[in-house]
Structure 1
Amino acid sequence: MDDRLSIHVKIADRDYTFKSLPEEETFLRDAVKLIRDRIDVHRGRGVRDTQDILALVALDCLVASLKTEDQARRTQKRIYDKVSQIDQIATSPPA
């Protein structure tokens, strides 16, 4: 039996149907809302062509993703450096 839900959404004047696991439905709906919000931003800036708007939204999303990945890498490095520092202090012979 397929546990997937049939989710209907509208993006940029088109209807789409997705099959989604129940635990992923919220993420899907949140993503659609964010896409709609970004579409509204670009329309507010005077962009009218749907293809141009969707290209800009895709670019916005990828830039945000790359920034998040970079921030996560920097955070992991700081944590690794601190753990290494603590390990070095813990394993060094007493003075």
Structure 2
Amino acid sequence: MEELSIKIKIGDREYPMKVNAGDEERIRKAGKAINEKIKAYRNQFGIDDKQDLLAMVAFDCLIDKMRMEEEHFNIDENLATKIKSLSDLIS
């Protein structure tokens, strides 16, 4: 796959990256989402310290990831239970 050299600006700093062409849009969206969360925290809490803002965004993102993993685990568990029930009915 083709590699691109791009720059992503996060919290007023630019980060050069080499990414697969197919991932460029996702990476740019992620950078935009991070900057939007930084701005929201800055406005909501009046915090200007970049390190504090980035830490809050990282924490928020990890909580979202953990929530989604739990939801997927519950969905998988429910599906397994339903498949077992259907299998028992067939047998």
TM above 0.5: yes
**Structure-1 separation of matches of 2:4 and 2:88:** 51
Q: Which amino acid aligns with 1:58?
A: A
Counterpart of 1:35, as a letter, is: I
Asked which structure has the greater CA Rg, the reply is: 1
Aligned residues: percent identity? 32
Q: Aligned residue for 2:6?
A: 7
Give the TM-score taking structure 2 as reference length: 0.95
* Bigger Cα displacement from structure 2, 2-11 vs 58-67: 2-11
* Displacement of 1:3: 2.2
List gaps (5 residues or longer) in structure 2.
Answer: none
Tell me whether 1:23 sits opposite 2:22 in the alignment. yes
Q: Read off the aligned partner of 1:79 and give its amino acid letter.
A: L
Whole-angstrom CA distance in 1 between matches of 2:56 and 2:50: 10
Q: Which residue number in structure 2 is paired with residue 37 of structure 1?
A: 36
RMSD: 1.0
- Note the C-alpha offset of 1:27: 1.1
Greater share of helix:
2
| TM-score normalised by length of structure 1 | 0.91
Q: SS at the partner of 2:30?
A: helix
How many residues are aligned here? Answer: 90
